[in-house]
Amino acid sequence: MDVARLAGVSHQTVSRVLNNENTVRPQTRARVEDAIRKLRYRPSSVARALATRKTHTLGLVSTGNPLYGPASIALAFNGAARESGYQVITASMADADRDEILQAVDVLLRQQVEAIVLIASDYSSIEAIDELELDIPLVTADSSGHGSFPSVSIDQFRGAELATSYLADLGHRSILHLAGPKASLDARERERGWQSEMVRRGLPLGSAHHGDWTADSGRAIGERLVEEGDFTAVFVANDQMALGLLHALTDHGIAVPSAVSIVGFDDIPEAAHFFPPLTTIRQDFTELGQRMMGTVLSVLDGRVVAVPVKTSPRLIERASAAQIRPGIRMPGPQAE
């Protein structure tokens, strides 16, 4: 090795310096480091991986459309991985197709990743990996907690309870739910949380109205709600659909929050700039990414993670929800 020759030391001494071992004398370390700078030497990560059987590389499989939540989870996990000295190879796909997921896992395995993380958008993602027999750890970011692998998530159920409870505490009894797609894991948990809180409080529970996470679907459902009947509050499963609902209500001259209160979910950066600014449920994606990485490190160390890891969301109060006002009713069929 050129570095060893220039520094006048053995290959083993250079290796100990590169691995930051404390068995090398300061003067010798200085000569080796000087030789490295002069030769502009860069250690080979491939060679080091072959020698140690550790690549410090993780695989990330992300399913679903590039929505705020999944994209934020992926970004947060990448940041936490870098802080821990790992790099991440990502495979993204719009649909949670079984064959595509299995193919992505196979590609990552050939890249010698030490572990794989799956951001699961719906149950088909979980079903696809449940049949896998892997020689490396696999961790899921999935709110159901029903898979056979260690899972980390934000408590979607609790977030929905917080939103519904907040509206109920403001005096609202007719609280509708504009839900996400039926196949979505997060949408199901948010719908369950709304149902649970409504039942706990003895409030009338109707059917949820399902959108596709987009503002367009929120507006379309809002148009139907205005035609169908009278209500005073809506818990919306994400902020984009809440924006569409606000649009529909405004078009019909229905004031928010004096006639109808709205609470969203996610706290996207634009939520504070809606008109009115949106009260919503904030998810701490930075904390989630750190907990995901912590779980990965735990399973890499051989520790058992038997219970799903959940982080807690919190309510962000703004101006789209208010105390119910006696005598104020939303225009609807009853008012015609």
C-alpha to C-alpha distances, 77 to 148, 292, 301, nearest whole angstrom: 21, 7, 19
Per the structure, the complete domain to which residue 7 belongs is given by: 2-43
Residues 150 and 170 in one domain: no
Whether the Cβ atoms of residue 233 and residue 245 lie closer than 8 Å to each other:
no
Question: What was the pLDDT predicted at 254?
Answer: 96
Asked whether residue 107 falls in the same domain as residue 203, the answer is no
Handedness of CA 268, 318, 193, 227 (dihedral sign): negative
Structural domains in the chain (count): 3
205 vs 202: CA distance, rounded Å: 9
Per-residue pLDDT at 23: 75
Please report the pLDDT score of residue 335 as a whole number. 41
Task: Give me the amino acid identity at 1.
Answer: M
Residue 336: the pLDDT is 40
For residue 156, which of 288, 67, 274, 305 has the smallest C-alpha distance?
288
pLDDT under 50 in the chain at which residues?
Answer: 46-52, 334-336
CATH code of the domain containing 247: 3.40.50.2300
* Structure token pair of residue 239: 């902020």
Helix (H, G, I), strand (E, B) or coil at 35: helix
115 and 174 in a single domain? The answer is no
Q: What is the pLDDT of residue 52?
A: 45
In a domain, 27, yes or no: yes
